[in-house]
Each structure stands twice: as C-alpha cells, then as structure tokens.
Structure 1
Amino acid sequence: MIKLDPRTKLLLLLAEAVIVLGGLSGSNAEPFKTVFMALPFLLLFSVKKVRTAIIGGLLLGLGLGAAYLPTGGRGTIILLMCSGILTRFVPSIMMGNYVMSSTKVSEFTAAMERMHVTPKITIPMAVMFRFFPTVKEECSAIGEAMRMRDIRFGGSKVMQMAEYRLVPMMTCSVKIGEELSAAALTRGAGFTCEAYKCVQDRLPCCGYSHVHAVCGSAGVDNMEVGDMTELKDVSFSYAAAPEKGCIKHMDLTVPDGQLLLLTGGSGCGKSTVIRLLNGLVPHFFEGELSGDVLIDGRSVPKMELYETAAMQGTVFQNPRAQFFTVDTTGELAFSCENQGLPEAEILSRIDRTVERFRIADLMDRNIFAMSGGEKQKIACASVDTAQPPLILLDEPSANLDYASTMKLREIIKLWKAEGRTIIAAEHRLYYLWDIADRALLIRDGSIAEDWSRADMDAMTSEKLAEYGLRSIHDTDPAAIERSCSRGEVFSVKPHKRFNFPTEIPLHEITAVVGRNGAGKTTFLRHMCRSARRSRRIFMVMQDVDHQLFTDSVLEEVLISLPDEDEGKAREILRSLDLEDYADSHPMSLSGGQKQRVAIACAAASGRDILLFDEPTSGLDYEHMQQTAQLFGELREQGRTILVVTHDSELIEACCTNIMRLE
C-alpha cells in the first residue's frame, strides 16, 4: 500500500485537475498528462479499490479509443466530444475517489488548516468528503426500494419512471447536505486552532487506532455553564412550513444540573426547542424568531455556532444527521478536535467513553456498514467524548433495543451525577420517567403541563394515555410471550451466513425481536430477495425517505394500488390520520407522518406479505395505536405481517407471534 501524507494527496488532486482536467497543452506537457492519467488507477489498486479502478480504466480506454474510430460528419464530432469528456473527467474522478476513500475527514481538515486554507473553504470541502459516500448509499437504497415496489424503467411511462428515481435522489441529496452542514456546525466546525499535527497511536484498553489529533494553546477547555438555561417569551415558525413544529410564546427556565423531559405528540415542537438551544434555530433553519434563548446568560441567537457547540452536545433522532466522518473512531474524536483539545486528552476521552459505553467492538468500523441501533450508540458516545455541560437529546432511543436503551439510561444517570444539564425530547418514557427531575407536556408549540418530580411519582400509565403519551412501564420485548398455532407457512431460502428461520407463519402478525446488529433488517431484505419473482412481499424500510417517490401523499398511495382508485386511497389515508395531508409533498412531512405514508403504501399494495422495519420509531402513543389497529385490520384481510421492532407497546397491542433472532 502506498502511504501518502494528506497534504500530498490534496496537491496530487490539484495537479490532476490542472494537468488532465484543465487540459494542459504543449509538447512538454504530454509526459505529465500520461503519468497523471495512469497515477489514479495505481493509487486505487494500492488501497484495494480494484473494482473502481477497473471500471474507471475501461471508461478511460473507451474514451481514448473513441478518438481513433473511423467515422464522418456528425459522428466524428460526437465521438470526439465523448473522447474528450472521458479522458479528462475519468482520471480526475478516480483521483478524487482515491483521496476520499483513503483519507479521514479529520486528516483532511487538518491538512487544509496546515496549508492555511480558510474555514469558509475547509468546511464545505469537508462536507463533500462525507456527502458523496452518503449519496452513494442513498442511491443504492432508493434503487432497492424501487425494485420492491416494482417501479422499473421502460414501458410507456419512461419519463415518469425516471422522475420517480430522480426525485428522491435529489431530495435526499439536498437533505444530506443540510444534515451534514448542521452536524458540522453544531459540533464546532469552524473553530480555529493554532496548530495541528498528525499522530499514529493505539489506545491500550481496546486496541483500536486513532489518527489525527488537534493540539495547541488555542483549544477550548470544558466550559462551565452557570445557573440556568432559559427561553424567554420565545416564538418561532419555520419559513418553509410556518405551522409545522412552531413554538408560541414559550417561557422556560432549566436550572443547572436538571434532567428535563420534553414529551408530546408528533410535530408539537419538541425538536424545535432542541434546535433553539443548540443554535440551529435561527442560524441554520430559517424562520421568524422573537424572544431570546440564553445559556449561562449568553444569547444563543447572537453567538456563533462553534461557540454554542462548546457549551452543548446534541444527539439527533436520526444518527445520519449526527455523523460527519465515515469511521467510528474518528466520529468520537470529531468534536474534541474542533475544540482544539490536546492529543493526549482526546485519546484519553475516547478510551474513557469506549469503556463507559462498552463499545470496543464498534471501534474502527465503517459507519455505513452498521445497523441503526449501532449508529445511535456511536452518536451518544460522540457527545460523551466532548463532555459538554449541556446535553440535548432528540429521541435518542428511537433505534435502540431494550438492553441498549437501558445502557443509555445508565449513561444519562452518569451525566446527571456529573452535574450536567440534560434536556431530552422523547416519546418513549419508561427509561427516563423515574430519573427525570421534571417533565413538560408540549402541545401545539406551548407548554400544556409542567410536572414536578412529585407530580411524576403520582402519575399512572392510564393517566398518561389520556394525555396521549406512552406507557411508563418497563417491558423487555424479548420477554413478551406470543405464539400461534401451527398452520400454513411461507418458506424462506436458507441464508448463506445467518441462521435465519426458514418458515414464517401465514396470516399472523409476527414481531421480529433481537439486539441491535442481530441481523433483523438483513432477514427482511433476505425475504424480499428470496420472493422477488413471486411479487408477494412489500417492505417498508427503516428510513422511509428512500421509498417516497411522488410529489403528493395521495399519488404515493395511488401508485401502490394494483388499480388506481382515489376513493380507496383516501380511505386508507383517513385510517392513518393522513387525509388532511393528501396534497402535501411526502418529504415536507414530519418523520412520524412519513412513516405512516409508507405504511399506507404497504396497505394499498395488495401484496399478501408485508414487512415493516421499525414502523413506530418516532411515533407518539396515538399514532402507534393507529398503526397497531391497521395491522390488525390487514391481518383480518388475510395478510401476513412481519414487524422488526423494539417497541413493546406495539407488540402487546397487536402481535400474535414472536420470532427471536440472536
């Protein structure tokens, strides 16, 4: 393997752009062009990107050969254009691929800092490093979703099929760019340190490696937050959707060291409160803001985001919105690097966090290859390494299994014992209810109830259900007993690697339970591939953005019906409390609403075996009950339902069978 310094890689990329892409001319330039055409492929082979190098080499060979093909007239012009495009762009793209695949984001940003590149260029370039691998993953998932919904190119509606492929890709690309930018800014990207250096070291307790640490006297030590965090008569509405998640004249004071629980229905404004406190509102999410948000007496709207990042750490509901690197070890170091902490301190903090979270097996892993629950563990751990005095949690348990959720509870107790202020927005209450100091019920952007510790002790699950809230009872899904009498079964081909079940009971609602990383999602995908030709299976993915293709909720359901029937489509939307959103764009909805749109598509598909991957993650009590009721109705229609879930309330509400994966 050829090992190059990150600065050397950047200079090679620049030289590639000037010599090959820029079309450097002259007789003396030809040897340089030849060398730089071949160099990217040699470097790709050195990092074992053989498939990429072969594909790029074939395209380059096609471009070089096209210039010599005998033709005439317009054909010559077209061939020369194709030859010029391929011979100039392919080597540059391959060099970019090599740089991105062999360089960590932290190495890249440090190299640019040492080259005295301004942060206005460094941050967007670093976002691009994370952007392209993420978009590649999204495109693959969208393609798979199209195949599962039998949306294929060809026939009389070629342009419509192309639109179904391009719309989610473009929407996801824009969203990814926004999320990555938000992740970078809330975690301190843009802070300027005096000195950077690259180091190679291994942490003794776990044996995983960490490359690049930031050092220098300009670093920010752990800041002390004073007496309280405050919202003073705050109102906010988003410019893009004024009625969605808005806040109305909210006054809130959170004393230092308090664990505050924010709860309420989907879209009530919980996440907006979190964004107000971490500075994403109004610096990133545009809208109309009045009032003031204060941390330690300092106005958050008036501070730079990197200043706010040193005072708080945020765990988002979707871990993808949290990550900025492609490897787990670098992710844990990212915030510390942005604060300019010394090398030894960064390594010590990573070591301590890995031990506290018991995630040694997740270190030095590719984030893209991890399950949703494993990603969420890394997201929480990355906040722990930064050691902020204020911790903001936006539904952190959404993708965690029961055991991981209870580990998160222990970590939150540790944070609380250390005197940190914790504000958690959650639907799942059972793991936080007895350790929180206070709970707020938010309804329509205002505080409807403010419960003290004594009020919370007197509360029952029945009373909370009247408020539309989840249960506070602690139930492990794996401990719930459900079994059905043996009848008809659907046979599944054995998997090459996993010992998956090969028989699925038909006409039942089967909960597929197991720890994070046990292969539950892999099992559903294996079922889809095994029965693709029979067209009996419809799967709702964990990230529903991948399988929403049209420009209205109604049309999304219509293309899922075997025969278009607007009356039937509206009936399905009505059953899921979505009829008011029939003309809305699916991507403009909240996470819970998009989840229900995907469920509506499954119900409309007419397929007799429906697979759901965490369908109630992010759903409040009311919509979880609606989902359970719909599953029951689908079963009565003779459908078979498999649900990958960590939601014990959903299992108890509707599941008739349990399948455990270990």
Structure 2
Amino acid sequence: MIDFEFEFQYSQESTPTLRKVSGNIPAGRCVVLCGGSGCGKSTLLRCLNGLIPQFYEGELTGFCRLDGHGTADLSIGEIGELAASVFQDPRSQFFTVNSSNEVAFGLENHGLPQEKIRNRVDEAFRTFHLEHLKNRNVYELSSGERQLISILSAWAMDTDIFLLDEPTANLDFAATQQLKNILLKLKKQGKTLLLSEHRLYYLADIADEYWIMANGEIKHKYTAEKAKSLLPLQLHTLCLRTLDLEKITVSERPPQPENMPQALSVSNLRYKYGRKNRAILSDVNFSVCEHEIVGLVGANGCGKTTLGKLIAGLYRSTGGEISLFGKAQKPKQLQKQVLFIMQEAEFQFFTNSVLHELQYGHKITDEFEKKTETLLKSMDMWECRDRHPFSLSGGQMQRLTLMMAYLSDKPIIILDEPTAGQDAESLKRCAELIREMGKEKTVLIITHDLELIADACDRCIGLSGGHSDTEFFIRSQQDLQAVRRYIERFHPTKVSPPKQYNERFHPATKLLYWLVLTIVISTSDNHLVYAAYAALMLLTAADGRLTAALIGSASFGALWAANVLLPDTLFSFMLVLFPRIIAVGISMMTLIGRNEASRTLAALRNMHLPERFIMIVAVIFRFFPVLSGDMKLLRQSIRTRGAFVTLWQKLRALPSYIEILTVPMALRVIRIAETLSASAETRGIDLKRRKSNFLSLRFSAWDILFFVVLTASVVAGLIL
C-alpha cells in the first residue's frame, strides 16, 4: 500500500513543483500517473523513493507511508527495501556491464548471502522466461531488453511496491508488449504498481486508475472504465495520448500531387557489418517523391537506423545504389544533402544555448531571427531559449533536434524516433512541424509510433529480414490498422546465449601484474619493461586472448628485428614507447574485458577496500566500454550537420573542433553519472552494511604459475 501527501519545491526553482498532492493506493493495485511534460510526475516518484530530498535538494513537506512504514527517517537504500524503482533510460542506470551481475547488484548491497543471491538471480530470469538474457553484455542488448533487465533487478529486491518512471519511453512496439506481459505477471503476484507514463495503450489490461496531473497537482482520478470512455477531444484537453490504438484516426491532409519527381531512390541496397560480415540489409528497394513524408517501420534490429545512416552517407554500403533527384550519390555527396537526426539527442548539440543551437551554421538575418522566434513559440520552447541544451528534459531535447531539422538547408531529412518521450500535446506539435517541413523538404521517419504515423506520414515502408517487403498508403483508419498489424507480427528475437569463457586467472593476479607494470614502465630500464611485456603476452595467451597475444608479440618482434637490421633513431624510440603503451592497453583489457570488470570489482571487495573507492572504480569501468561507441555517434552527428567536414576545416579551427568533441561527451557523462548515482542509491549502494558478492573467486594453479613467470621475468630483466 502507498499513502502520501506532499508539497515540494526544488532549491533552484522559484515556484513549487508539487502543490499538496495526496493519494492512497491499496496493495495489489496499479495506478498510472499521466499528464503533460513537466507536470510533476517524475518529481512525485522521487518523493516516494526518497531521492527527494536526500539526493535532489529542495523543501519537502508532508508524509509518505509504504506498506505501513513511514519513510521520513529512512535512508534511500532503506526505502529501496520497501519500493523498487525503475528509471526511464536503463542505459543510464546500469552499474555493471553484465546482465546477471546487474540483477544481483542490489542484493549485494543489502548483504545477502551469496547462495541466496544466486538463487534469486536465477529465479528472476526463470520466472519471466528470460533465461536467454543471462550473462549478456548489457550494451549489446536492445533498449527493450535493457529495460527488462532493469525490471528484473527491481523484482529481485523482493519488494511489494514498484515505482516506474516512463518505462516505455525508449521502447519499440514489440518490446512494449514484452514489458506489458511482465507487468501483468507482477500484478498477478500481488505487487503494487505506480507508473509515470505518456504512452498509455499498453496499460489497458493492467491499470486500475489513471491519475491526471497538471501544474504540480493531481487534477483528476479516473477509474480504468472512466478513462477508457473519454473522447479524443477530452484526452487532448487532458494532454493524454490514446488509450486504444484501434481508435486512432488519420489526420486530414491535402492529397499528394500526381507525377511528383523522385527525391530519393534506393536500389538493391546491401550492407554487411562486423568481423563476421553479418548481413544487416540485403536487397532494399524503394523510392520517395519530393515533399513526401514516409515512415520506416519494422521490428527492432531489422536495420531501419542502419538504412537511414546509409542514405545520409554516414555508412558506406556493400552493394546497391542510392540516388538523389535522379543522380547516383557517393557517401560524401549524400552527407551534403541529407540530414540525419539521431534518437540520441544529446550527441547533436554543439553550443551553449537553445537559441545558439538553432542559429548554428546559419546566416543570422532579421527574417531568420523572426522565423526562429515563431518556431520556438510554436514548440513551447521560447522560455527555454537561453538554457543550455543539456539542461533540457529528454522530450525538450527531441523537440530541439526537430527544430534544427526544420531550419536545415538540406532537402532531405531523416528522423530517428523523433517522438520518444513526448506527451500528447508535444506529439501534436511535432507532427505539425513535420508536416510543415514536408512543404519544403522530403522527410523519412524511422518510427513505431502509430499516433505520429496517423498525424504526419503519407506512406509507410516496411522492413523485414533485411528487405523492404511492403508499403502502406496512409489515407484512412483501415490503412493505419494495416500498419499496426504489420508491426504487431514481429516478436523480439531470442539470440543464443553468449559464449562462456573459462577465466583462468584470479583478478587479484591481474591487479598484481598491473601494480608491477605501473612501477616498471615508470623506470628507464627497457630490459625490465621487455621482461614485463613478455610476461603479459603469456598471461594474455593463457587467458584465451590468443589474437591479442599474437598481434602484440608479432608487432614487438617486427620492431625488434627492424631495429637490429636497420638501426635507426625512430625504431629505437618505438622500442621504448611501444611496449609501454601496448602493455597498458592489453592489461586494462584483461581487467575489464568480457566479464572481467565484475570479477575485478568482486576481488576489490574481497580485499575489504573502502566501498567509496570501489564505487569510483565501478563508475570508471562502467563508462570505459561505451566511450568508443559514443564517440562514433558524436562524429556522425558532426558530419551530418556539415561541421568540420574536411581535415583542413578541423585543423583551421582545431580548438573549436576539440571543444565540440569533448564538451558534449563530458556533459553526457555528468548527466548519466547523476542518474547512475540515483539508481545506485535506490538499490542500497550507501547502506551501512557489509556488502556481499554474487561472484565466487578462487585462486588456481594458473595464478601460481603466472606468479612464478612474472617473478622470473622481473629478475631476468634486472639481471640483463
């Protein structure tokens, strides 16, 4: 049961965010908090889980009781034993890299015995038939799969109350259906559910009540039956999206003129990816007319985003042809004429204010300033014009990228999930802007949002199995339902469990080597460095990383031979520098690669090091694996916006280029770190208890053997 009454004002705000909101939710019931963005839904959830005022500061008055327990004197972690929290973006709340370790994370913080943790983790995956997600790298999972892991992490805590903040904001249709099935199971288990949501259709069989919030107050409390009876106009007035996909109507729009010239043509397009040369797209064919707005629909992972990036010239195809306005184009030519707006909005901001972001790359005239002002007001963003883009909410960021696309001089725009996290009013504004965009440009929308398709798209193209296999003209409600049936037929793909590696070395052995290496490379004794390098190659090979060991050994051997046969200052310098750099890189890989990050953290905990130190190391390990992928997205954003295209442009304005590369990454890290810390707090990271370990670590003969080899190598290096 949940019983509460709150008033709250953030410390940096001049007006209250919550104004005497109160409610009572009996055990086993499901209540949905809904309403426009900024109405106070997320803030209310933060008050319930203790993040307010202990993490997010401000003035809070009132009370909260969870299952009869008052929360005023409880820490965030203690409240987490009563109510489990699930956040909007699972990628920002994961504390580990391995899915099983992530589910175990909260249980470790609460100090449960190892055997009980293992049983609970196994039970979580088994109960929800998600065994195929065990021991997976969370950054190789889809958004939907990551959200499922976050819910399993909450379920493993064995609480009776679940607080979920927009859990479907980043999910496609199939993943939303999977989430719905899990929520139904939770309700059957008697769990109390409180969700903040914009997307409501999937909750029809789950929700008991809908609480509509506006201006920090709960304005209405509707039963499920009453909510389902609301007319479209009433839903729009309350800023609610549809509760029934069958009732979505197609917006009236002028008919497309006949015989419009083609803006885009894709012929026999193919794309293979990765070292295994896996086919993502094979034989994609379609065309788009000038000023046409076309939706790209299909299952998660079918290649929609890849296709969009190929058309934008951000990827190079392995076959086929892309033509614009009747002429075949190469990637560099495509980049000049196509703008790709990513789903990850924060990678696309280069300036320090909303207004400057819209002005970036444009000649500022009185007419442009007037156009920008009108645009900001139409998208309800005028009051935000001087704010830094990274201070905006997720929905506001999405609207800002949409405005950037509208102002772009490029004739073809590709939008990747432009309405993620948008409320009903914002969705309407976005659809209207896209329709306006279509008067001057050709627009391709990657989406699974039927409401957006109904309001904006002239046609939809379906992708399945790497092919463009069907198309739908959106002229009536029947056409829209045909698109819905097409999307509904896809189900999340269950991949085979990942290869399990037999980790031969205890992490403490690798940490010992890291300590020795740090000392050795700081000396000027090259023979000592070479000896330590040789020991590392043996460790790497014995650890199952044969390719890395062979490349490292062969590269060093080639340098050595070149220096002997052709003595040269450059080769001598490389022999000093190369083994030091490679040794640091490979030894880091052995510490955090595969599942080693979790094992290394477990080893540090077994050494009884301070938890605060272990937390810092965990955060470093958490960010390291995703940096290369994030940097890749940032470089793609720079290219598609036409900034610093050539090497000369980068060199001529090197400080600005470095700033664009580093500042968004730094701000993104800060933004994620805040959410990560909040998530860790709700799962007991700060509880004053002795932590336990999910993983079991044991020394083996391999560790003894390596210790002998390392000692012999160091002694040999000192003698030589």
Match of 1:399 in 2: 170
2:45 corresponds to 1:274: yes
2:298 corresponds to 1:522: no
Q: Secondary structure at the match of 1:495?
A: strand
Deviation at 1:489, TM superposition (A): 4.8
Q: Secondary structure at the match of 2:270?
A: coil
Equivalence map 1:508-657=2 (5 Å): 508-528=292-312, 529-530=314-315, 531-534=331-334, 535-561=336-362, 565-637=368-440, 639-657=441-459
Separation in structure 2 between the aligned mates of residue 527 and residue 635 of structure 1, nearest angstrom? 18
The answer on whether the counterparts of 1:539 and 1:612 sit within 8 Å (CA) in structure 2 is: yes
2:288 corresponds to 1:498: no
Which of the numbers 51, 55, 70 marks the counterpart of 1:299?
A: 70
The answer on whether the counterparts of 1:572 and 1:604 sit within 8 Å (CA) in structure 2 is: no
Q: Secondary structure at the match of 2:7?
A: strand
Deviation at 1:476, TM superposition (A): 12
Equivalence map 1:5-24=2 (5 Å): none
The answer on whether the counterparts of 2:187 and 2:206 sit within 8 Å (CA) in structure 1 is: no
Match of 2:511 in 1: none
Separation in structure 2 between the aligned mates of residue 472 and residue 267 of structure 1, nearest angstrom? 21
Separation in structure 2 between the aligned mates of residue 516 and residue 335 of structure 1, nearest angstrom? 29
State the percentage of identical aligned residues.
Answer: 36
The answer on whether the counterparts of 1:433 and 1:456 sit within 8 Å (CA) in structure 2 is: no
The answer on whether the counterparts of 1:513 and 1:646 sit within 8 Å (CA) in structure 2 is: yes
Separation in structure 1 between the aligned mates of residue 44 and residue 208 of structure 2, nearest angstrom? 18
The answer on whether the counterparts of 2:66 and 2:83 sit within 8 Å (CA) in structure 1 is: no
Q: Secondary structure at the match of 1:341?
A: coil
Match of 2:11 in 1: 239
2:184 corresponds to 1:382: no
- How many residues end up aligned between the 2 structures? 430
Equivalence map 1:92-491=2 (5 Å): 228-232=1-5, 234-243=6-15, 246-474=17-245, 488-491=262-265
Q: Secondary structure at the match of 2:201?
A: coil
Q: 1:353 to 1:522 in 2, by over 3 A?
A: farther
Q: Secondary structure at the match of 1:572?
A: helix
Separation in structure 1 between the aligned mates of residue 44 and residue 199 of structure 2, nearest angstrom? 18
Deviation at 1:286, TM superposition (A): 1.0
Separation in structure 2 between the aligned mates of residue 372 and residue 560 of structure 1, nearest angstrom? 33
The answer on whether the counterparts of 1:278 and 1:308 sit within 8 Å (CA) in structure 2 is: yes
Q: 1:527 to 1:240 in 2, by over 3 A?
A: farther
Deviation at 1:242, TM superposition (A): 4.4
Q: 1:242 to 1:475 in 2, by over 3 A?
A: farther
Match of 2:495 in 1: none
Q: Secondary structure at the match of 1:658?
A: strand
* TM-score, reference length from structure 2: 0.56
Q: Which structure is richer in relative contact order (CA contacts within 8 A, separation 6 or more)?
A: 2
Cα deviation, 1:521-561, whole Å, max 9, x if unaligned, reads 33323333154444112222212122122222111101053
Cα deviation, 1:568-592, whole Å, max 9, x if unaligned, reads 2222212312122212222222221
* TM-score, reference length from structure 1: 0.61
Q: After superposing the two structures, state which structure 1 stretch, 319-328 or 468-477, moved more.
A: 468-477
Cα deviation, 1:580-614, whole Å, max 9, x if unaligned, reads 22122222222211211111111111111212221
The answer on whether the counterparts of 1:595 and 1:615 sit within 8 Å (CA) in structure 2 is: yes
Deviation at 1:659, TM superposition (A): 2.2
Q: 1:347 to 1:605 in 2, by over 3 A?
A: same
Separation in structure 2 between the aligned mates of residue 614 and residue 359 of structure 1, nearest angstrom? 26
Cα deviation, 1:3-40, whole Å, max 9, x if unaligned, reads xxxxxxxxxxxxxxxxxxxxxxxxxxxxxxxxxxxxxx
Please tell me the root mean square deviation across aligned C-alpha atoms, in Å: 2.7
| Amino acid across the alignment from 1:566 | E
Separation in structure 1 between the aligned mates of residue 10 and residue 301 of structure 2, nearest angstrom? 37
The answer on whether the counterparts of 1:475 and 1:648 sit within 8 Å (CA) in structure 2 is: no
| Amino acid across the alignment from 1:231 | F
Separation in structure 1 between the aligned mates of residue 141 and residue 450 of structure 2, nearest angstrom? 23
Separation in structure 2 between the aligned mates of residue 411 and residue 547 of structure 1, nearest angstrom? 34
Separation in structure 1 between the aligned mates of residue 190 and residue 375 of structure 2, nearest angstrom? 49
| Amino acid across the alignment from 1:470 | R
Which of the numbers 463, 470, 473 marks the counterpart of 1:661?
A: 463
The answer on whether the counterparts of 1:562 and 1:605 sit within 8 Å (CA) in structure 2 is: no
The answer on whether the counterparts of 1:401 and 1:514 sit within 8 Å (CA) in structure 2 is: no
Separation in structure 2 between the aligned mates of residue 360 and residue 504 of structure 1, nearest angstrom? 41
The answer on whether the counterparts of 2:265 and 2:288 sit within 8 Å (CA) in structure 1 is: no
- Mind listing any 5+ residue stretches in structure 2 that lack a counterpart? 273-278, 316-330, 465-720
Separation in structure 1 between the aligned mates of residue 171 and residue 354 of structure 2, nearest angstrom? 29
Q: Secondary structure at the match of 2:271?
A: coil
Separation in structure 2 between the aligned mates of residue 313 and residue 629 of structure 1, nearest angstrom? 38
Deviation at 1:504, TM superposition (A): 4.2
The answer on whether the counterparts of 2:103 and 2:152 sit within 8 Å (CA) in structure 1 is: yes
- Mind listing any 5+ residue stretches in structure 1 that lack a counterpart? 1-227
Deviation at 1:356, TM superposition (A): 4.5
Deviation at 1:246, TM superposition (A): 1.1
Separation in structure 2 between the aligned mates of residue 372 and residue 517 of structure 1, nearest angstrom? 10
| Amino acid across the alignment from 1:303 | L
The answer on whether the counterparts of 2:18 and 2:217 sit within 8 Å (CA) in structure 1 is: yes
Cα deviation, 1:238-267, whole Å, max 9, x if unaligned, reads 223445x81111121112211111000001
Separation in structure 1 between the aligned mates of residue 247 and residue 154 of structure 2, nearest angstrom? 26
The answer on whether the counterparts of 2:145 and 2:175 sit within 8 Å (CA) in structure 1 is: no
Q: 1:623 to 1:279 in 2, by over 3 A?
A: same
Deviation at 1:384, TM superposition (A): 2.6
Q: Secondary structure at the match of 2:453?
A: helix
The answer on whether the counterparts of 1:544 and 1:594 sit within 8 Å (CA) in structure 2 is: yes
Q: Secondary structure at the match of 1:459?
A: coil
Q: Secondary structure at the match of 1:555?
A: helix
Q: After superposing the two structures, state which structure 1 stretch, 500-509 or 618-627, moved more.
A: 500-509
Q: After superposing the two structures, state which structure 1 stretch, 377-386 or 324-333, moved more.
A: 377-386
Q: 1:329 to 1:447 in 2, by over 3 A?
A: same
Deviation at 1:302, TM superposition (A): 2.2
Separation in structure 2 between the aligned mates of residue 636 and residue 593 of structure 1, nearest angstrom? 24
Which 4+ runs in 1 deviate beyond 6 A?
482-486
Q: After superposing the two structures, state which structure 1 stretch, 375-384 or 316-325, moved more.
A: 375-384
Cα deviation, 1:440-485, whole Å, max 9, x if unaligned, reads 10000001101134423533444322322111113599xx9x9998
Q: Secondary structure at the match of 1:435?
A: coil
